[in-house]
Amino acid sequence: MRNLIIFGPPGSGKGTQSIHIANKYNLAHISTGDIFRSEIKNETELGLKVKGLIEKGELVPDELLIDILKSAMNKFKNVDGFIFDGFPRTIPQARDLDEVMDEMNDYINIVLALDVNDDEVIARLLKRAELEGRKDDNEEVIINRLNIYKEQTEPLLEYYANRDKLKMIHGIGSIEDIFKSLCEAIDKAE
């Protein structure tokens, strides 16, 4: 199995690149953000619970994530591994993921961190707001999401660097060029 984490601030291109990587390497793409958006759209109990938080750009509490993650992973059959996109976002979530991997007698091969500066991320998210109309893509919420990323999610860079899993990837350029850099890193990590 090949298990990857794609990491980076909101708007760094994680979603787009994950889809390409999942296709190329036959991986299950697990995007917790996509899961929450679908639950909100279908007005499920979970969706109603998390809607307010997500629209403000806050994180969903850690204890809700683990079951969602496990049930998302169980839906896939005949894949060669997983690509986690938007998860983990906190140190407790990273520990939970390590446990899930342990239970499967498996491990995370590499954490691919897309390096994109704040100005670029803000510009991209404002553009996405126009194109897709995501409720959490207005300027105030974008700033909040970036602050939360810095406070709660960025410490994971050190967590994975300490475990020799971290690979920084320059995240500005064409989708194709960035995809190429990501694939090189994945192939090397075998």
Of 54, 116, 125, 142, the residue at the interface with ligand AMP (CB under 6 A) is: 54
Which residue has the CB atom at the shortest distance from ligand AMP?
Answer: 33
Binders of ligand AMP in range 125-154 (CB under 6 A): 136, 145
- Any residues with CB less than 8 A from the CB of 119 and at least 6 apart, and which? none
Question: Which string of x and - marks every residue 57-96 that binds ligand AMP (by CB under 6 A)?
Answer: xxxx----x--------------------xx-x---x---
**DSSP designation for 135:** G
Interaction between residue 167 and ligand AMP (CB under 6 A):
no
- Other CB atoms within a 10 A radius of the CB of residue 99 amount to 10
CB of 190 to ligand AMP, least distance (A): 27
Name the minimum Å distance from CB 53 to ligand AMP: 6
Dmax over CA atoms of the chain, in Å, equals: 44
Query: Other C-beta atoms within 10 Å of 156: how many?
Result: 20
Bridge partners for 165 per DSSP = none
Confirm or reject binding of residue 161 to ligand AMP (CB under 6 A): no
What is the residue whose two structure tokens read 């806050």? 58
Burial class (CB in 10 A: 0-12, 13-18, 19+), 21: buried
Q: Which residues bind ligand AMP (CB under 6 A)?
A: 10, 32-33, 36, 53-54, 57-60, 65, 86-87, 89, 93, 136, 145
